[in-house]
Amino acid sequence: MNAPDEPRSPEGGLFEGNLLLEALDTNDRALLAPYLERGHRARGTVLFRAGEDVSHVTFPLNQTTVTLVSRMRDGRMVETATVGHEGAVGGVVSNGYLPAFSEAVVQVSGSVLRLDAERLTRARAASPSLRDLFVRYADCLLAQVLQSVACNAVHPIEERCLRWLLTFQDRLGTPVLPVTQEMLAEMLGVRRTYLTGVLGALQRRGLISVRRGQITILDRAVAEQSACECYGKVRHHFRTVLGAVYAESGAIVAVDPTRRHDD
Ligand SMILES: [Zn+2]
């Protein structure tokens, strides 16, 4: 079942499946390779909680997706950023072993690579190119969060919902999204019954189809036009700052645009 996650070659295979790691040059790979641990994380796994020291950096591989959420006192939680194979969570913006501000929850199960946060801190200190890549990624992650603040304040729920679905499609590389209505309502911070009406409206417009535990984006082009500007704005920033670009189909492709990751 996890065949697509298997390394494709014994040498370079360790770094395959995560765009940040794939973008590292040979010297930077050598700094991290001895300390990367491969593992599997099931949906719902909490990688770290707010206030806990971040001991490890987690790199989602292939379709594995993690959301950073803010949890309120009454138990409600809202997504602040979604991270897939284009990035990493934990010790990205700060150095490791500092308290996390948000909670990181696995949304789509799959393989990850894990690195002791202290090892990444040391590697950043030793290598300007590695540091530069992670600073650029941190900037993109921050852009995603900043735009979400503005988006949540001013954009209608239909447009926000499309933005989230498109972003999720980019992370997964497929229009068929393993999303339950409960999960989506939680991510968007709305009631499930309210979301059902929103999804129904999008479905009647022919943009998506909704099945139990699954939402499919049927018309990517119209969905992009109908989503709020936040989707394109964040994508443009990723493309400009990180060089990891989105293919026409919507799937993120690596820094080397001739290589695809959704196969
Ligand atoms: Zn928006």
DSSP code of residue 94: S
Q: What is the pTM of this model?
A: 0.85
How many angstroms does the Cα of residue 27 sit away from the middle of ligand 1?
40
How many angstroms does the Cα of residue 25 sit away from the middle of ligand 1?
35
How many angstroms does the Cα of residue 233 sit away from the middle of ligand 1?
9
How many angstroms does the Cα of residue 232 sit away from the middle of ligand 1?
9
Structure confidence at residue 254 (pLDDT): 37
How many angstroms does the Cα of residue 163 sit away from the middle of ligand 1?
7
- 105 CB-near residues (< 8 Å, 6+ apart): 44, 45, 46, 47, 66, 67, 69
Task: Walk me through the domains of the chain, giving residue ranges and CATH numbers.
Answer: 11-127 (2.60.120.10), 155-231 (1.10.10.10)
pLDDT digits (tens, 9 = 90+) for 29-62: 999 999 999 999 999 999 998 888 888 999 999 9
The C-alpha atoms of residue 234 and residue 147 are separated, in whole angstroms, by: 7
- Comparing CA positions, the residue from 52, 47, 157 lying closest to residue 100 is 52
| Residue 78: strand, helix, or coil | strand
12 pLDDT band, cuts 50/70/90, is low
Structure confidence at residue 93 (pLDDT): 75
How many angstroms does the Cα of residue 107 sit away from the middle of ligand 1?
21
How many angstroms does the Cα of residue 1 sit away from the middle of ligand 1?
36
How many angstroms does the Cα of residue 216 sit away from the middle of ligand 1?
20
Mean pLDDT, rounded, for 80-92: 90
The C-alpha atoms of residue 23 and residue 45 are separated, in whole angstroms, by: 27
250 pLDDT band, cuts 50/70/90, is very low
Write the DSSP assignment of 118-173 as a string of letters: HHHHHHHHH-HHHHHHHHHHHHHHHHHHHHHHHHHHHS-HHHHHHHHHHHHHHHHT
Q: With 50 as the cut, is the pLDDT of residue 243 above it? A: yes
Mean pLDDT, rounded, for 138-145: 92
How many angstroms does the Cα of residue 228 sit away from the middle of ligand 1?
4
pLDDT digits (tens, 9 = 90+) for 202-217: 999 999 999 999 999 9
Dihedral of the CA atoms 89, 90, 91, 93 (nearest 10)? Answer: 50
Structure confidence at residue 111 (pLDDT): 97
Is the backbone of residue 97 left (phi > 0), alpha (psi -120 to 50) or beta? left
